[in-house]
Structure 1
């Protein structure tokens, strides 16, 4: 009897939904974020974004397998250009990956904001590195206050079944100020 009760509690905790906590991530964006994510250390940022623009927000899990970033940069795109922006990324994302397989490539509206949304699996086409790890990636692009905002989530395929629904729930709570 005690073993049965213990097994029920164990199953409850294993099946339990991930906890999302509302966070103000930047001065322009807030969203609910998994409590399993933590801010990347300076060392992790330097290693992952060597020679690239450091994101406004960069988070990972305890194993450093998951990557969640938010980046804003000035742009020539205007607020009403998200459909045109999508056409641009439709053409510019595939050359950055090997063996890319899209499951989503469309315009979506989240909390009254239009985004170009992409979900896919593929290997980053890193120059000279043909053994790059395949990743599940979920990207949102939008224009906010004359800036291009990119929200990105990626993880290895073996973590996709766990993290895909979490990333979707997180992204659904995106709110701009």
Structure 2
């Protein structure tokens, strides 16, 4: 009986409606973010981004299975170059993954801003050994004030059905200043 009640409560918690909170994440971007996400700890940042540039924003869920980041960097691309930027990423993303399956690869407009948008399932190619796992990934690329802005979300396949609609809602709320 107690096991049944625990199982029902776990089921309800897993499928409960996600809440969102509008947040100013950087001096250039705000968006609605799932309240299930938290900022990564320094230790998590160090282990996930070893030797790489630390993102402006890096968040994860309670189990550290989800990865949400925002990164801006100086670029030679101009505001009107998003279509060219998409062509560049069309050819540069596939070599980074094995067994890649795109569900979205197109230009989109969100709140009057153009983005190159990618959604796919794939196994990161840079992982060593057989331990690399398939990931659902959602990427948005745009140019803002002479900077390349990358918004990234990823999670393992067993979390995809829960997090894919959450990521889509979050990404649909992106607003630049």
Asked if Structure 1 and Structure 2 have the same fold, meaning a TM-score greater than 0.5 normalized by the shorter chain, the answer is yes
* Unaligned 5+ runs, structure 1: 1-8
Query: What CA deviation, in whole Å up to 9, does each residue of 1:143-166 have, x standing for no partner?
Result: 000000000000000000000000
Q: Are residues 1:122 and 2:122 paired?
A: yes
Aligned counterpart, 1:173: 173
Q: Are residues 1:89 and 2:70 paired?
A: no
Query: What CA deviation, in whole Å up to 9, does each residue of 1:104-123 have, x standing for no partner?
Result: 00000000000000000000
Aligned counterpart, 2:105: 105
* 1:20-169 aligned within 5 A: 20-126=20-126, 128-169=128-169
The 3-state SS of whatever aligns with 2:143 is: strand
* Whole-angstrom distance in 2 between the partners of 1:40 and 1:10: 25
Query: How far did 1:14 drift?
Result: 5.6
Q: CA 1:72–1:15 in structure 2 vs 1: closer, same or farther (change >3 Å)? A: same
The 3-state SS of whatever aligns with 2:158 is: helix
* Unaligned 5+ runs, structure 2: 1-8
* Whole-angstrom distance in 2 between the partners of 1:50 and 1:98: 21
* Whole-angstrom distance in 2 between the partners of 1:85 and 1:172: 20
The 3-state SS of whatever aligns with 1:161 is: helix
* Whole-angstrom distance in 2 between the partners of 1:155 and 1:123: 11
Query: How far did 1:80 drift?
Result: 0.1
Query: How far did 1:16 drift?
Result: 3.5
Aligned counterpart, 1:18: 18
Query: How far did 1:17 drift?
Result: 2.0
Which aligned runs of 4 or more in structure 1 are off by greater than 4 angstroms? 9-15
> In angstroms, what is the RMSD of aligned CA positions?
1.8
Query: How far did 1:128 drift?
Result: 3.5
* Whole-angstrom distance in 2 between the partners of 1:128 and 1:156: 17
TM-score, length-scaled by structure 1:
0.91
Query: How far did 1:33 drift?
Result: 0.2
Q: CA 1:40–1:14 in structure 2 vs 1: closer, same or farther (change >3 Å)? A: closer
Q: CA 1:14–1:125 in structure 2 vs 1: closer, same or farther (change >3 Å)? A: closer
The 3-state SS of whatever aligns with 2:131 is: coil
